[in-house]
Structure 1
Amino acid sequence: MSAEHKQLESNNGCVHYWISRNCNQNAICILFTHGLTANHTMFEKQVEYFEASYTVITWDVPLHGLSRPYQNFSYENTAKELKAILNKENIKKVILVGMSMGGYPSQEFAYRYPENVDRMIMLNTTPFGLEFYSKSDLWWLKQAAPLGKWFTDRMLRESMAKSVSKTDYSYKKMIEMLNPLSKAEIIEQMDIAYGKFAKENKNVQFDCPVLLLLGDSDTTGKVKQYNKAWTKATSYPLHIISHAAHFSNGDNPEQVNLEIENFIQGKGSYDI
């Protein structure tokens, strides 16, 4: 099955998405949102696994992939774009999977449109919530883009890809997703995405079941510490992906896919 490439025009730009619609009209829809400087192909291992039994949507988040240029980026606007996609496809309920930065549009969407969310899987991401972040945490977030300017173009790409991956597949996939971007565009994405998170972060409460997934070798920022604090504060189950760094769905797609499917089907040790 091949996904159908579609576009959605909004006041801020053209948003590109891909849908593999299951022939079963009652099939559950899973919507995957990729991480910073990546694009929809970050989930190719998940699409391959799930499209036979589910309707699957991937997209290029505004400012990323083909969804460039895009004006007035904010997580509020990304949530509105997702809502417009679902309206266009006449999909009432989705399961959200957000990887790293992709967790922010997902959480924003669940906050604004809870009636449209069946459950959420947060993959190597961090929580919305004012209590989780100190002033120094937010300050360091804003330093990612300025620090990136000190790297040469090649060093920046290679260091980014190496830092998030544990397998050759994930490293090469990250390099491939970075290839179409100039160094200036990479830094712009980092600057806007982290800056907007600091401004739009808020206390939230989700009524739907939430699963946290984290690579056992994830050394990106304080992702591991935030996830431990997140599960402690909310009692959301936290499952560790073995032999995986930050790009855990690329490093160990077999376990990630199984964790997602078990969570959807209500199997395994899930406190939901």
Structure 2
Amino acid sequence: MPQLEVDGAALTYDDEGPRDAQGVPLVFVHGWTADRHRWDHQLAHFAQKRRVIRLDLRGHGESSGAGVRTIAELADDVLALLDHLAVERCVLVGHSMGGMIAQTITLAHPERVERLVLVNSIGRMTYSRGRGLLMGVSTLVPFKLFVAANIQRAFAPGYPRDEIRAYVKASANTPREVVMTLYGAMRAFDVLDRVGEIRVPTLMVHGYHDIQLPVRQMLRMAKAYPDAEVRIIDAGHELPVEKPEELTRTLDRFVSVPA
């Protein structure tokens, strides 16, 4: 796989599909402790007809590097890759933390984003007092237990246990420093008061059973967007792998509408 050196990290990425296709490239950004393979179904579908780019964020998957402290720094990595690939404008698709990165890029560089897709993502993490206390305490347990607890609850009831265990194992392979630092970065992320500045057509797709980032938090954000379409799917937080076909169809309809 090709890699790009950026500020001490080697970012692994895929760049597939026809370069002469109509429409700007689709750029997929995964979430916390995941990797670019969350988008396997979408890559296989869209790369048949247009350019598709996805990457492993630093410290995730096959990318090296750590030391990143904020969502904005991850956004800089994505922008560095787009610059390297001479992508001036794109459809930006982000899942969970990847959606936070996508919003950050869109707010800072709206000229580079033709459309925005947020999958199970929000503009501000909001906790009740009880859930906030639970989240704080969870960081004190052993690392693998912390990861397992967070990943297991990301899936809707009834999702195959063997597959969940495989995702837990993969997530636990993410370096502890990266996992814990970005957990804090997500909790600190807050652009809710600025999302009204985002003027590009936006699609928000969310799992009805998402307890990581509840639907009501996404809907609170959607109200502030001037041009947002909302789609709720019968899934949990891991929509790209829980309902890949339905998500792909939803994305395809959105990106196929003339700008």
TM bin (shorter chain): 0.7 to 0.9
Query: Aligned partners of 2:120, 2:43: CA distance in 1, in Å?
Result: 18
Q: How much identity, in percent, do the aligned residues show?
A: 20
Give the whole-Å Cα distance in 1 for the aligned partners of 2:135 and 2:61.
Answer: 20
Residue 71 of structure 1 pairs with residue 71 of structure 2: no
Q: Does 1:150 align with 2:146?
A: no
Maintained 8 Å contact 2:36/2:56: yes
- Please report the TM-score for the alignment, with normalisation by the length of structure 1: 0.81
Q: CA deviation at 1:37?
A: 0.8
Name 2:174's counterpart in structure 1: 181
* Cα deviation, residue 45, structure 1: 1.4
Does residue 188 of structure 2 align to residue 195 of structure 1? no
Paired residue for 2:164? 171
TM-score (normalizing by structure 2): 0.84
Q: One-letter code of the match for 2:76?
A: K
Residue 181 of structure 1: SS of its match in structure 2? coil
The AA in structure 2 aligned to 1:223 is: P
Q: 1:50 aligns with which of 46, 52, 55?
A: 46
Find the partner of 1:14 among 7, 10, 21. Answer: 10
8 Å CA contact retained: 1:60, 1:67: yes
Match of 1:62 among 55, 58, 65: 58
Call closer, same or farther: CA 1:59–1:176 in 2, change over 3 Å. Answer: farther
- Find the residue that maps to 2:34 and give its secondary structure: coil
| Match runs of 1:120-269 below 5 Å | 120-127=116-123, 133=126, 140=132, 144=135, 147-151=138-142, 153=144, 155-166=145-156, 167-168=159-160, 171=164, 174-175=167-168, 177-178=170-171, 180-181=173-174, 185=176, 188-199=177-188, 201-202=190-191, 203-204=193-194, 205-220=197-212, 222-234=213-225, 236-242=228-234, 244-266=235-257
Q: 1:147 to 1:225 in 2, by over 3 A?
A: same
2 CA distance for matches of 1:149 and 1:230? 31
Q: For residues 256 and 25 of structure 1, do their structure 2 counterparts lie closer, same or farther at Cα, with a shift above 3 Å needed?
A: closer
Q: CA deviation at 1:44?
A: 1.0
- Asked if the contact 2:97/2:186 (under 8 Å) is kept, the reply is no
Q: Hey, what's the Cα distance between the residues in 2 that align with 1:36 and 1:226?
A: 18
Give the total of aligned pairs: 252
Q: Structure 2 stretches of 5 or more lacking a match?
A: none
Residues 194 and 135 of structure 1, relative CA distance in 2, 3 Å threshold: farther
Contact 1:144 1:190 in 2 (8 A): no
- Residue-by-residue CA offset, 1:68-112 (whole Å, 9 max, x unaligned): 322243222222222221121111211111111111111111111
* Alignment match of 2:107 (pick from 111, 120, 123): 111
Which of 69, 81, 88 aligns to 1:85? It is 81
